[in-house]
């Protein structure tokens, strides 16, 4: 049985995005070991055929000294256990595990789930850091035994512009969505629910959503409930903490319902889903889940978000950081129930065609098979 080591940044990300890949790996003859920052949430059960371990990589430590220490730790971990393949997700695991894979000679898959602020910030220091990251990426992927997975066309074109990788960059739509769990349900809510669900980060468009909700309630004769759901990620530098979120929601008439385990039911009860994000998204899974539930979407014309809908067919694209445009789009759609129904049907069709978790998982296993079965030059 081949051994694959997967590195993700934190256990809740693994639970929401990658657990299906690990749970079904055993059936493919793969012994999957997952490394993540463990926060204490329940992830594994006694029937799971994969193992979950505390990662030697910290989410919060970013200084050079800490990175060198972590690089040494992962080097000895990989050198001791010698997996047949390493699959790293997000930029820090990609860089550190990619370097180790080159040094030891282990095939490597780097999954880019959004390019992150390194690629978007324009300050002088960030441009220097970007050049350094590109040097590392070229070193890591300048081999036939490594490959990059991107989630959207923008990220792929950016990486291609830096001439990274000997192998063609693969594009996969994130981790896909469970179409049996996320599906349309006949739940009629009155007044209609306008839902936003995400990590509570400023770049997700929380302030724009609240501003649009306040405008809707003050200017529109139609009734609607504005609901915000999602965890407060206090370790993120752009987190909106509860002491600031609660008064913001109260002032704008938004109901904050916290992190919901029944997100599928909450989505299915919504008339409209909103994600006004300008975060460096790969392909937001929640947009795929909303489409699978047959819910029309308003999101931004921003990498990852724009790739998740068919504009004017399954949803509407608006300019990022524009609460007035968001209010206008909400008002137009919520006053046109027939259009909402048609968009919802088209969204479900799109999810079945492109976002099926089973198809995305099999595409990953095909990559595993290629890099596990072939003797590739390093």
The span from the CA of 296 to the CA of 303, in Å, is 19
**Mean pLDDT, range 344-364, rounded to an integer:** 97
pLDDT of 216: 96
pLDDT of 222: 87
Asked if the model's pLDDT at residue 312 lies above 60, the reply is yes
pLDDT in tens, 145-158: 999 999 999 999 98
pLDDT in tens, 155-196: 999 899 889 989 999 999 999 999 999 999 987 768 999 999
pLDDT of 127: 72
Look up the pTM and report it.
0.92
For strands 315-318 and 193-197, give the pairing. unpaired
Same fold, 2-174+357-373 and 193-354: yes
- Give residue 377's pLDDT band: very low, low, confident or very high (50, 70, 90): low
The span from the CA of 37 to the CA of 21, in Å, is 18
The dihedral through the CA atoms of 286, 287, 291, 294 has a sign that is: positive
pLDDT of 286: 97
- Give residue 221's pLDDT band: very low, low, confident or very high (50, 70, 90): confident
What percent of the chain is predicted at pLDDT more than 70? 95
The span from the CA of 180 to the CA of 66, in Å, is 43
pLDDT of 129: 76
Paired tokens of 180: 């049996």
Q: Looking at per-residue confidence, does 127 or 273 come out higher? A: 273
**What is the CATH number assigned to the segment(s) 193-354?**
3.40.50.2000
**Mean pLDDT for the chain overall:** 92
Asked if the model's pLDDT at residue 378 lies above 60, the reply is no
Which element (helix H / strand E) includes 64? Answer: helix 64-81
Q: Looking at per-residue confidence, does 45 or 168 come out higher? A: 168
pLDDT of 233: 86
Paired tokens of 188: 């009629």
Indicate the domain borders of the chain: 2-174+357-373, 193-354
Q: How far is CA 65 from CA 14, 62, 72, 88, 99, in A?
A: 27, 8, 11, 21, 16
Q: Which has the minimum average pLDDT: 106-120, 233-247, 257-271, 276-290?
A: 106-120
pLDDT of 178: 96
Asked if the model's pLDDT at residue 296 lies above 70, the reply is yes
pLDDT of 25: 95
Q: What's the distance, CA 92 to chain centroid?
A: 15
Q: Which three-class secondary structure string do you get for 304-354?
A: CCHHHCCECCCEEEECCCCHHHHHHHHHHHHCCHHHHHHHHHHHHHHHHHH
Please tell me what DSSP assigns to residue 258: -
**Mean pLDDT, range 257-279, rounded to an integer:** 95
Name the CATH superfamily, with its identifier, for domain 2-174+357-373.
Glycogen Phosphorylase B; (3.40.50.2000)
The span from the CA of 238 to the CA of 234, in Å, is 8
Sheet with 225-229: list strands edge to edge.
254-256, 225-229, 193-197, 272-275, 297-300, 315-318
Cis peptide preceding 191, ω within 30 of 0: yes
């Amino acid at each position: 049985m081949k051994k694959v080591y997967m590195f993700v940044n934190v256990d809740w990300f693994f639970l929401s995005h990658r657990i299906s890949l690990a749970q079904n790996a055993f059936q493919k003859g793969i012994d999957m070991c997952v490394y993540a920052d463990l926060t204490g949430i329940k992830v594994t059960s006694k029937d799971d055929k994969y193992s979950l371990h505390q990662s030697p990589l910290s989410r919060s430590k970013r200084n050079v000294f800490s990175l060198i220490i972590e690089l040494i730790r992962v080097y000895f971990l990989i050198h001791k256990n010698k997996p047949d393949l390493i699959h790293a997700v997000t930029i820090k695991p990609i860089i550190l595990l990619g370097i180790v894979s080159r040094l030891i000679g282990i095939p490597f898959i780097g999954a880019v789930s959004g390019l992150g602020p390194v690629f978007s910030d324009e300050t002088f220091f960030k441009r220097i850091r970007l050049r350094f990251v590109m040097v590392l990426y070229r070193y890591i992927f300048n081999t036939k035994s490594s490959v990059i997975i991107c989630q959207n066309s923008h990220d792929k074109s950016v990486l291609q512009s830096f001439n990274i990788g000997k192998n063609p960059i693969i594009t996969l739509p994130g981790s896909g969505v469970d179409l049996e769990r996320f599906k349309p349900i006949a739940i009629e809510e009155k007044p209609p629910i306008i839902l936003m669900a995400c990590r509570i980060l400023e770049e997700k468009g929380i302030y724009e959503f609240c501003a649009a909700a306040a405008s809707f309630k003050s200017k529109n004769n139609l009734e609607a409930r504005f609901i915000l759901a999602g965890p407060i990620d206090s370790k993120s530098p752009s987190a909106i903490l509860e002491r600031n979120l609660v008064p913001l929601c109260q002032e704008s008439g938004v109901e904050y319902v916290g992190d919901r385990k029944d997100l599928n039911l909450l989505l299915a009860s919504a008339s409209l889903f909103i994600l006004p994000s300008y975060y460096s998204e790969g392909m937001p899974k929640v947009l795929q889940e909303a489409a699978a539930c047959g819910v029309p979407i308003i999101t931004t014309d921003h990498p990852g978000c724009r790739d998740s809908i068919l504009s004017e067919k399954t949803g509407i694209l608006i300019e990022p950081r524009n609460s007035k445009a968001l209010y206008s789009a909400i008002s137009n759609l919520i006053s046109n129930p027939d259009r909402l129904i048609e968009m919802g049907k088209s969204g479900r069709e799109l999810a079945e065609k492109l976002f099926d978790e089973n198809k995305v998982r099999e595409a990953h296993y095909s990559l595993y098979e290629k890099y596990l079965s072939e003797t590739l030059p390093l």
